[in-house]
Amino acid sequence: MVRVAVTGGAGFIGSHIAVHLARLGYRVVAVDSLERATGFERLEEAGVPLVRADLRHDDLPDADVVVHAAAYIDVAESWERPYEYMWNNAAVTAKVAKRAAERGAHLIYISSAAVYGEPEYLPIDERHPTKPKSPYGLSKLVGEQIAEMLTKKLTVARLFNVYGPGQSGPYSGVITKFIQRAKQGKPPVIFGDGEQTRDFIHVEDVARFVAVTVEKGATGVYNVGTGIAVSIRKLADIVMKIFKIEGTVRYAPPRPGDIKHSVAEISRAFSLGWKPQIALEDGLRKLIDI
């Protein structure tokens, strides 16, 4: 039986990946420091074992496939704590990649669209220059590069804006923030004019993508998004409609360092036989009861 270790396995994205792979019959172990874990219950419900390990200090359990999803993810925080971001995201990836290579394991590195920085053209394909605009984006890019240096059995999944059940707490994206306010009957707060666009991908579609790469042993760099650009203003309208929120959207100053537009070109991921299955409105509706 194929053994899979998912680092950050008790986190938002990692826990969805771990549970999905376990349901497909892989022997999955989640590895997590529990520093910022939000997906602990999901693992428990699905019976996925958890190894408590901080990869900055501890070793990785043995496995045939390593999904490396452990990372700090907050762009703003990365300006305050650049050293911690480079250590936790980039340096730890060096350790994970070296151990994976020594064991002949397939490494799937969960990277980010943040490696591209301000787009030079849209949609963004995998050949787009990588010029990150934040220490966070740089830490993910250096992670990619050191992994490429250390192992050939590597898949790099550059995730666009991921949302879904279990994203919570201070380190969550715009959809979770809008929904948290909607649940209190409050309209969204938009930073800037709301004309900025993002490509929102449901976390279960991300988990399905990872499963395809595991199953096919597919290596290389892949964008993981939907290919659909949605403005933040449109997102606010949809959330207000679904949650039947009265009143008007509030506007606040633009967030420093934000990119304006982001949308993925996804034909490479398509070529593996994967495609996103959850439309944004459906994905949002599913979050109402949670």
Question: What is the contact surface with ligand UD1 in residues (CB under 6 A)?
Answer: 73-75, 112-114, 160-161, 171-174, 177, 189-191, 196, 198, 232, 255, 258, 262
Catalytic pick among 26, 109, 136, 163: 136
Q: Is the Cβ of residue 22 or residue 190 nearer to ligand UD1 in the bound state?
A: 190
Q: Is the Cβ of residue 146 or residue 232 nearer to ligand UD1 in the bound state?
A: 232
Question: Closest separation between CB of residue 288 and ligand UD1, Å?
Answer: 18
Q: Is the Cβ of residue 189 or residue 238 nearer to ligand UD1 in the bound state?
A: 189
DSSP string, the chain: --EEEEETTTSHHHHHHHHHHHHTT-EEEEEE--SS---HHHHHHHT--EEE--TTTSPPPP-SEEEE------HHHHHH-HHHHIIIIIIHHHHHHHHHHHTTPEEEEEEEGGGT-S-SSSSB-TTS----SSHHHHHHHHHHHHHHHH-SSEEEEEE-EEE-TT--SSS--HHHHHHHHHTTTPPPEEETTS--EE-EEEHHHHHHHHHHHHHHT--EEEEES-S--EEHHHHHHHHHHHTT--S--EEEPPPTT--S---B--HHHHTTT------HHHHHHTTTT-
Question: Closest separation between CB of residue 7 and ligand UD1, Å?
Answer: 16
Question: Closest separation between CB of residue 249 and ligand UD1, Å?
Answer: 9
Q: Is the Cβ of residue 22 or residue 156 nearer to ligand UD1 in the bound state?
A: 156
Question: Closest separation between CB of residue 2 and ligand UD1, Å?
Answer: 28
Q: Is the Cβ of residue 61 or residue 173 nearer to ligand UD1 in the bound state?
A: 173
Query: Does residue 121 carry a catalytic annotation?
Result: no
Question: Closest separation between CB of residue 255 and ligand UD1, Å?
Answer: 4
Would you say 162 and 112 are in contact if contact means Cβ atoms under 8 Å apart?
no
Residues identified as active-site? 136
